[in-house]
Structures are given as structure tokens and as C-alpha cells.
Amino acid sequence: RFPEKGKVSYKAPSNIALVKYWGKLARQIPANPSISFTLDACATTTSMKFEKKGESSDTFSFDLLFEGKPKEDFKPKIQTFFERIEAYVPFLKEYHLVIETSNSFPHSSGIASSASGMAALSLCIMDIEKQMSPDMDKAFFNKKASFLARLGSGSACRSIEGDLIQWGKHENIPESSNLYGIKYPFEVHPVFKNYHDTILLVHKGQKQVSSTVGHELMHGHPFAENRFRQAHENLDALKSVFAHGDVEEFIKIVESEALTLHAMMMTSMPYFILMKPDTLEIINKIWAYRSETHVPICFTLDAGANVHVLYPESVKEKAIQFIQDELVEHCENGHYICDRIGQGARKI
Ligand code: PMV
């Protein structure tokens, strides 16, 4: 039964990949498997008011408010998303929707809101579906929310649950799927249960290259096959790293993944560089600090210039001190965000 009207709200976090998703096939099928820490502080909150239209309708109708104001330029993205998921949520066209969304992180901070945004939106839609099928269990709800989110933005499928999420078929992870993210099914040592991610905002401007274009450039890329194989191998290697709490090996894999992601961009045609001089300064300072102090702090990168500094809870004070003393000077206007591994989206 269709509910006449109502309102649902969800808060969904961003995530940071440890093994990177870069390259895709049709319908947002990843070219290689990936794994990420779900974040906590960086999140999108979305509410959706829905009201049954007078008569059956063949178009989507929705209003969109971003941080309280109408946002026309986001609408085509949402329209495209709705068209992609239409077959799986046919009831959507029966409603007029008022979508209100806001981010916990500052607008144009260089932090992508597509993962958290598409996850929050998908959860709102699934909540409406659940009102029609009250027996739906939590596992199905999360799986389908992740499935829908993937069709909005690939990495968004890793933003439904916490705290370590794997996406993409991998032969040694039988539960894995190209269609949705799953909670990492193997043993994880406590050291990886409360990791921190301090995000250094090196460059807040728009990216020169969208991730859509970046994924596209992996088609016919001279190193593509090796890269995809390497992602599988790194995911395999992480199994014992997570089980044993092997932070040193974790650092090698995570930093190599970040640099490989950027190496793929530098070696595509056309080629491009998203790192800034300050990105490299930060990386070099992290390496110098680590070799002097043996404090296990490392970096990873997204498809941009910002640096995610990862470290375990046990070295939090030292890491924050180092970041403040040496790294913050490389951030635009000294801006950074203290985040940590989180437990996934929640209804509000
Ligand atoms: O979800 P997309 O299509 O914006 O791709 C994101 C890709 C990276 O953030 C660079 C890596 C990842 O796995 O999140």
C-alpha cells in the first residue's frame, strides 16, 4: 500500500577508500574491487517530504533545497539518478518530493559530497519503500540502499554502513558483489576499529577533472590491466593486515594505493595532475616524521589535492601535535577537518 504522504530524514557519512575504485564499466560496475573506512563527521543530512500526486504520472517531480535554498543546478544530477533507479523503485513517480539537503562540511571544501549525498538520498527512498513493505528486513534494506546509491555515484554504495566496507567482486570474498557494498566479512583487529582521519584541505576549488571523466580514462589506459590486478592483490594482502593489526603493512598498501590512483591520472591520455605543491610537501613531511619517530601515521588521497592523514587512536595526541605544528601551514586558510572511522548512516 502506498502511503499518502510523509517525511523521512537520514544522515549518511562520507567514506575514504584504502584500496581505490578507479575505472568502471557500464551501469556503475567497478573495474576493480575497493574497500573503505566509513567516516563519521563528514556527512550529508537529507530529508524527503513525499506526497501522492493526484493522478498516476510518468514524470519525476521534485523540488530541491540545498542548505535551505532552492538549488536548480543540482537538479539534473538528481533527475539522472532517478532515471537510473526508476526500474527498481517504480513508486517514486507517484509522488511529489521535496528534498532538503545539507552537508556537515563547508561547501566547496574540495570534499566530494556525492558519496554521502547519494547515500542519504537512497536511504530516504528506501524508507518510503519500507513503509509499503513493513516486513522488509534490515539486511535487505541496507543492501538495496547501497545498490541504489551505487547508481548515483559508485563510491556512495560504501556510505550506508560502517565501519569497513568492501565493494566489487573479489574471488576470495565470496559475499562480495559489484552491485553493492558489504561489511568487510573477515576479522579486524581493534587497532583498525578506531582509526582517525584528519583531512587537510589543501585546495578547496573545484576539481579540474571529474571522477566520471577519470573513470572513463581507464578504458584503453596502458596500465589498466595491471592496476586492476594490483587492486585485487592489495585487497588480499589486507586480510592478514586487518586480522593481525599490522599497521606497518597497512601503511605500505594504503600509501601505494593513493599514489597509484594519481599515477593512473598522470599516465592517462589526456594526462593530468591533481596534486598541488602543498600535497607533496605534506607527503614528504609525513615520511620524514614517520622515519624519525616511528609514529605510524600515513596518508591517502582522493581524486584531488587534499590529504587524508590516517592514524590509530593510540597515537592521537602525537599525530594532532605534528599536524598542527607542521602540516596545517600547507592547508588553504589553515583549514582541516578531524574525522574518524564511523558506524554508517542513521535515520533522524
Ligand atoms: O564514486 P566516484 O565515481 O566519484 O569515484 C570515486 C573514486 C575515488 O574517490 C577516487 C576512489 C574511491 O574508491 O573512493
**pLDDT tens digits for range 304-340:** 999 999 999 999 999 999 999 999 999 999 999 999 9
Say if residue 260's pLDDT is above 70. Answer: yes
Does residue 246 lie within any of the structural domains? yes
Percent of the chain scoring above 90 in pLDDT: 91
Task: State residue 346's pLDDT score.
Answer: 98
Q: Which three cell numbers mark 19?
A: 584500496
**Complex ipTM, two decimals?**
0.99
Q: Quote the pTM value.
A: 0.97
Residue pLDDT, tens place only, 233-244: 999 999 999 999
Domain-terminating residue out of 153, 188, 223? 188
Q: Are residues 68 and 211 in the same domain?
A: no
pLDDT band at 266 (very low <50, low <70, confident <90, very high): very high
Which ligand 1 atom sits nearest the alpha carbon of residue 19? 13
Q: Are residues 179 and 44 in the same domain?
A: yes
Q: How far is the CA of 300 from the centre of ligand 1 (A)?
A: 13
Per DSSP, helices labelled H in 184-323 are 211-216, 224-244, 247-266, 277-293, 316-322
Task: State residue 108's pLDDT score.
Answer: 65
Domain-terminating residue out of 188, 205, 224? 188
Say if residue 291's pLDDT is above 80. Answer: yes
Cβ neighbourhood burial of 131 (10 Å; 0-12, 13-18, 19+): middle
For cell 601503511, the residue is 251
Task: State residue 131's pLDDT score.
Answer: 95
Residue 109 φ then ψ, to 5°: -95, 0
Residue pLDDT, tens place only, 60-72: 999 999 999 998 8
Percent of the chain scoring above 70 in pLDDT: 98
Quote the DSSP letter at residue 326.
I
DSSP per-residue letters across 266-299: HTSSS------HHHHHHHHHHHHHHHHH----EE
For ligand 1, say whether the CB of 40 is within 6 Å of any of its atoms: no
Mean local confidence (pLDDT), 268-278: 96
pLDDT band at 206 (very low <50, low <70, confident <90, very high): low
For residue 126, the domain's CATH number is: 3.30.230.10
Say if residue 109's pLDDT is above 80. Answer: no
Q: How far is the CA of 325 from the centre of ligand 1 (A)?
A: 30
Atom 9 (ligand 1) nearest CA:
302
The 3-state DSSP class for residue 192 equals helix
Q: What are the Cα distances from residue 287, in Å, to 266, 294, 296, 303?
A: 22, 10, 10, 21
Q: How far is the CA of 327 from the centre of ligand 1 (A)?
A: 25
Mean local confidence (pLDDT), 133-157: 97
Cβ neighbourhood burial of 132 (10 Å; 0-12, 13-18, 19+): exposed
Mean local confidence (pLDDT), 266-276: 96
Report angle CA 314, 317, 319 to the nearest 5 degrees.
85
Say if residue 217's pLDDT is above 90. Answer: yes
Q: State how many domains the chain has.
A: 2
For ligand 1, say whether the CB of 155 is within 6 Å of any of its atoms: yes
Domain-terminating residue out of 166, 188, 210? 188
Task: State residue 43's pLDDT score.
Answer: 97
Q: Are residues 152 and 274 in the same domain?
A: no
Average pLDDT of the chain to the nearest whole number? 95
Q: Are residues 36 and 174 in the same domain?
A: yes
For ligand 1, say whether the CB of 34 is within 6 Å of any of its atoms: yes
Higher pLDDT, 237 or 206: 237
Does residue 116 lie within any of the structural domains? yes
Pocket mutation for ligand 1, best pick of 14, 15, 16, 20 (most atoms within 8 Å of C-beta): 20
Q: Domain range holding 324?
A: 196-340
Mean local confidence (pLDDT), 154-179: 98
160 close to 119: Cβ distance less than 8 angstroms: yes
Q: How far is the CA of 110 from the centre of ligand 1 (A)?
A: 13
For ligand 1, say whether the CB of 268 is within 6 Å of any of its atoms: no
Residue pLDDT, tens place only, 172-193: 999 999 999 999 999 999 999 9
For ligand 1, say whether the CB of 85 is within 6 Å of any of its atoms: no
For ligand 1, say whether the CB of 303 is within 6 Å of any of its atoms: yes
Say if residue 31's pLDDT is above 90. Answer: yes
